[in-house]
């Protein structure tokens, strides 16, 4: 007999990510993450799987977090990062077994790395203080006295990090594997990122912006750098975000992914190929009206790290594409041939391919599969499961299969989404319905496992979640349409979704409707309750209530408001017009306000303003604050706080629905 989904299922679910094939394609390593309830933390270990026998073996057993495993070119060693010393350091493990050797003890850890093809060196990038080296000890005040911090730039803080050190820069270096000797390769007060190492070991792709003031520098040029001479060739130097570079096997081409700023952060990312001989580049996906990359929001997978692009020996390319609510693996050629290599109705969140392109290892999730690894024959699409970490959970728990829906939104546009019946659904009964709105707004709900949605269904509620305009995976026009129109046609899309659900599903009790959402979804929840009384209860999470104050307090506020509203502090009327706080007097729906203390993306003052304003007007509202939590609490937050958040959400809707 199956049981219903519970909050504490977070401690049973296993996250299987980052599959990396060995150079000969016969074996792979990957990361499995679980939450340790007693230690109240995430534990991630390295696993190995033999593709022929399907035998899976755990290779590390620490209580730390392993990440970014990579094989050496000869397949004899695996490197990885681990936070065994609090900060991430680099380790090397023999493929034949034994203890991992620690390669770095950097003061501020290591960010990223790549093997040199000879297997004798490892390139990396890591933070270093100005005038110091990677290995200089971290400076600490012995008596823990507080000190003032001088701020001279606008981009001075970041969610999940806090204040960004003004004298800290990212540099590229190289480690001699045998001796452990570390050499710094780049220099100057700049932030470098290591992108790729050529297969002959003679060239690097490095990202760096050397402008003096980076407050409004929203691009990072990609440079092709000669290892011996340090001579630089510009691959791309344009406004927008570009990265994920990868050399073809013959080193004649460099593939990378990026988006220009035509539609600011709503711009579709494309796959580009740079010709190292001719110095020109092509846009491989120019004809596709969908973004390259994974834009799905969910709450289960931990540290999923899918490559931006993978080459095969015959210069074919594979890359993830967000399309129609799916994330699919696509095949491409430089001649413009493009087609999907994986089916619809699923989420590819990790992958790798053999050099000949015949076989892929894919990490796959769907609405009722938390995610496992499969080996797939590209020519036939045939798959065989390699892992089964969540198999018992799926068999023991009643998971509800969402039904895909399409309805007409504002301007008669098609809008896509999903509706879930309550777990244990009985024909003829009436049930509450909770609408759940995603953040972004330029993200998307997809065909992937979402614990929170399943938990809501387990409470005996229907669940409606849709991708209103502003969401990715449908078209450039669709994702851009929300900019300058927050609370306009996006609001109408969501209300149209409710109307559609009520007209098509007789089991929904129209008098017991709830609504919730986080980030942009929190903004929209605030907007909904200040513009309609259709909902009996609402819960707003990490929300935005006042775009005027958001401009100055958010880590992205000073440019995000201009990008999304076309307004800054010289046009406060526009910012106020789009602010739910302006309409607080019209709120009649009981509103639960949830917010993290260390949220720098949507700072907690947004919740404080809303709460005090509503309370002063005698509105029915409560405010729950989560200490030591940031904007990503629902996905990567401290485990006990994730449980408390879900407890608050379900408790509020139980009370009113």
Q: What is the mean pLDDT of residues 452-476?
A: 98
* pLDDT band, very low/low/confident/very high, at 85 (cuts 50, 70, 90): confident
* pLDDT band, very low/low/confident/very high, at 142 (cuts 50, 70, 90): low
Rounded to an integer, what distance in angstroms lies between the CA atom of residue 421 and that of residue 464? 9
Q: Is 227 helix (H, G, I), strand (E, B) or coil?
A: coil
Give me the percent of the chain exceeding a pLDDT of 90.
95
pLDDT for the residue numbered 128: 95
Q: Is 653 helix (H, G, I), strand (E, B) or coil?
A: helix
DSSP 356: T
Rounded to an integer, what distance in angstroms lies between the CA atom of residue 243 and that of residue 207? 8
Q: What is the mean pLDDT of residues 285-295?
A: 97
Catalytic residues: 519, 631
Domains of the chain, residue spans? 482-656
> Could you tell me which of 653, 625, 652, 656 has the C-alpha nearest to residue 641?
625
The answer on pLDDT for 284 being more than 70 is yes
* pLDDT band, very low/low/confident/very high, at 141 (cuts 50, 70, 90): low
The answer on pLDDT for 6 being more than 70 is yes
Residues in the chain: 657
Q: Angle 580-431-525 (CA atoms, 0-180°, nearest 5)?
A: 10
Out of 127-141, 237-251, 575-589, which region has the weakest mean confidence (pLDDT)? 127-141
The answer on pLDDT for 136 being more than 90 is no
Whether 207 contacts 217, CB under 8 Å: no
Rounded to an integer, what distance in angstroms lies between the CA atom of residue 538 and that of residue 516? 6
Rounded to an integer, what distance in angstroms lies between the CA atom of residue 323 and that of residue 72? 34
Residues whose CB falls within 8 Å of the CB of residue 494, separated by 6 or more in sequence, listed in order: 435, 437, 466, 468, 524, 528
* pLDDT band, very low/low/confident/very high, at 377 (cuts 50, 70, 90): very high
Q: What is the mean pLDDT of residues 514-524?
A: 98
The answer on pLDDT for 452 being more than 90 is yes
Is the domain spanning 482-656 CATH 3.40.50.1820? The answer is: yes
φ/ψ of residue 652, rounded to 5: -65, -45
pTM: 0.97
Residues whose CB falls within 8 Å of the CB of residue 143, separated by 6 or more in sequence, listed in order: none
Rounded to an integer, what distance in angstroms lies between the CA atom of residue 312 and that of residue 334? 12
Rounded to an integer, what distance in angstroms lies between the CA atom of residue 437 and that of residue 441? 9
Rounded to an integer, what distance in angstroms lies between the CA atom of residue 28 and that of residue 18? 10
The answer on pLDDT for 143 being more than 80 is no
The answer on pLDDT for 36 being more than 70 is yes
The answer on pLDDT for 17 being more than 70 is yes
Instruction: Compute how many other C-beta atoms are within 10 angstroms of the C-beta atom of residue 394.
Output: 15
> Could you tell me which of 206, 208, 186 has the C-alpha nearest to residue 196?
206
Which tens digits make up the pLDDT trace of 306-331? 999 999 999 999 999 999 999 999 99
The answer on pLDDT for 146 being more than 90 is no
Give the mean pLDDT of the chain: 96
What distances in angstroms separate CA 537 from CA 422, 486, 525, one per listed residue? 18, 22, 10
* pLDDT band, very low/low/confident/very high, at 550 (cuts 50, 70, 90): very high
pLDDT for the residue numbered 97: 84
Beta bridge partners of 89: 82
Give me the percent of the chain exceeding a pLDDT of 70.
99
Element containing residue 11 per DSSP (H, E): none
pLDDT for the residue numbered 399: 98
> Could you tell me which of 633, 628, 632 has the C-alpha nearest to residue 648?
633
Give residue 566's Cα distance to chain centre.
26
The answer on pLDDT for 131 being more than 70 is yes
Which tens digits make up the pLDDT trace of 169-203? 999 999 999 999 999 999 999 999 999 999 999 99
Range 626-636 burial, b when 16+ CB lie within 10 A, else e: beebbbbbbeb
The answer on pLDDT for 593 being more than 90 is yes
The answer on pLDDT for 145 being more than 90 is no
Instruction: Compute how many other C-beta atoms are within 10 angstroms of the C-beta atom of residue 51.
Output: 18
pLDDT for the residue numbered 137: 78
Beta bridge partners of 128: 169
474 φ/ψ sector (left φ>0, alpha ψ -120 to 50, else beta): alpha
What distances in angstroms separate CA 134 from CA 94, 102, 103, 168, 192, one per listed residue? 25, 15, 12, 11, 14
Rounded to an integer, what distance in angstroms lies between the CA atom of residue 521 and that of residue 649? 14
Which tens digits make up the pLDDT trace of 231-260? 999 999 999 999 999 999 999 999 999 999
């Amino acid at each position: 007999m199956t049981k219903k989904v519970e909050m504490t299922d977070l401690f049973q679910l296993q996250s299987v990510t980052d599959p990396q094939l060995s150079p000969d394609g016969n074996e792979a390593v990957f990361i499995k993450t679980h939450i340790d309830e007693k230690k109240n933390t995430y534990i991630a270990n390295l696993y190995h799987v033999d593709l022929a026998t399907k035998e899976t073996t755990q290779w590390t057993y620490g209580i730390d977090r392993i990440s970014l495993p990579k094989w050496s070119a000869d397949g004899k060693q695996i490197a990885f990062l681990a936070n065994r010393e609090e900060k991430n350091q680099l380790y090397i493990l023999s493929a034949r077994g034994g203890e991992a050797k620690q390669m770095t003890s950097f003061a501020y850890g290591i960010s990223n790395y790549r093997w040199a093809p000879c297997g004798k060196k490892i390139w990396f990038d890591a933070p270093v203080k100005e005038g110091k080296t990677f290995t200089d000890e971290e400076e600490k005040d012995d008596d823990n006295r507080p000190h003032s911090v001088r701020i001279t730039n606008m981009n001075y803080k970041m969610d999940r990090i806090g204040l960004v050190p003004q004298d800290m820069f990212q540099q590229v270096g190289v480690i001699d594997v045998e001796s452990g000797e570390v050499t710094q390769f780049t220099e100057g007060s700049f932030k470098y990122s290591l992108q790729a190492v050529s297969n002959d070991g003679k060239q690097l792709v490095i990202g760096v912006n050397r402008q003096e003031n980076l407050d409004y520098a929203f691009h990072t040029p990609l440079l092709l750098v000669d290892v011996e001479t340090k001579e630089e060739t510009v691959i791309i130097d344009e406004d927008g975000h570009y990265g994920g570079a990868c050399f073809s096997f013959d080193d004649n081409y460099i593939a990378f992914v990026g988006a220009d700023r035509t539609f600011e952060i709503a711009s579709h990312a494309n796959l580009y190929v740079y010709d190292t001989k001719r110095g020109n580049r092509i846009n491989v996906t120019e004809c596709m009206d969908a973004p390259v990359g994974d834009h799905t929001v969910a709450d289960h997978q931990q540290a999923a790290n899918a490559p931006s692009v993978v080459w095969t020996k015959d210069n074919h390319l594979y890359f993830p594409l967000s399309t129609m609510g799916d994330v699919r693996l696509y095949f491409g050629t430089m001649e413009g041939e493009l087609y999907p290599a994986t089916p619809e109705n699923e989420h590819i969140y990790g992958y790798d391919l053999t050099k000949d392109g015949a076989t892929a290892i894919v990490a796959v999730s769907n609405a009722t599969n938390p995610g496992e690894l499969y080996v797939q024959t590209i020519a036939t699409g045939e798959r065989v499961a390699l892992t089964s970490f969540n198999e018992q959970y799926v068999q023991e728990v009643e998971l509800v299969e969402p039904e895909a829906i399409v309805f007409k939104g504002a301007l008669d546009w098609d809008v896509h989404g999903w509706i879930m019946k309550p777990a244990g659904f009985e024909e003829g009964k009436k049930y509450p319905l909770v609408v759940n709105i995603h953040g972004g707004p330029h993200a998307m709900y997809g065909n992937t496992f979402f614990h929170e949605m399943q938990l809501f269904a387990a409470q005996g509620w229907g669940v409606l979640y849709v991708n209103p305009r502003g969401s990715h995976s449908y078209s450039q026009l669709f994702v851009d349409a929300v900019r300058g129109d927050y609370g306009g046609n996006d609001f109408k899309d969501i209300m149209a979704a409710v109307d559609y659900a009520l007209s098509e599903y007789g089991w929904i009790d129209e008098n017991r409707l709830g609504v919730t959402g986080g980030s942009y979804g929190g903004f929209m929840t605030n907007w909904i309750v200040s513009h309609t009384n259709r909902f009996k209860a609402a819960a707003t999470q990490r929300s935005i209530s006042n775009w005027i104050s958001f401009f100055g307090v958010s880590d992205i506020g000073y440019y995000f408001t201009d990008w999304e509203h076309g307004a800054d502090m010289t046009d406060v009327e526009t910012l106020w017009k789009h602010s739910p706080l302006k309409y607080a007097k019209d709120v009649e729906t009981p509103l639960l306000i949830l917010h993290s203390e260390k949220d720098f993306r949507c700072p907690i003052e947004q919740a404080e303003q809303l709460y005090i304003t509503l309370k002063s007007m005698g509105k029915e509202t409560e405010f729950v604050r989560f200490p030591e939590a940031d904007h990503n609490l629902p996905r990567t937050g401290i485990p006990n706080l994730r449980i408390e958040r879900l407890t608050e959400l379900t408790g509020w809707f139980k009370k009113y629905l």
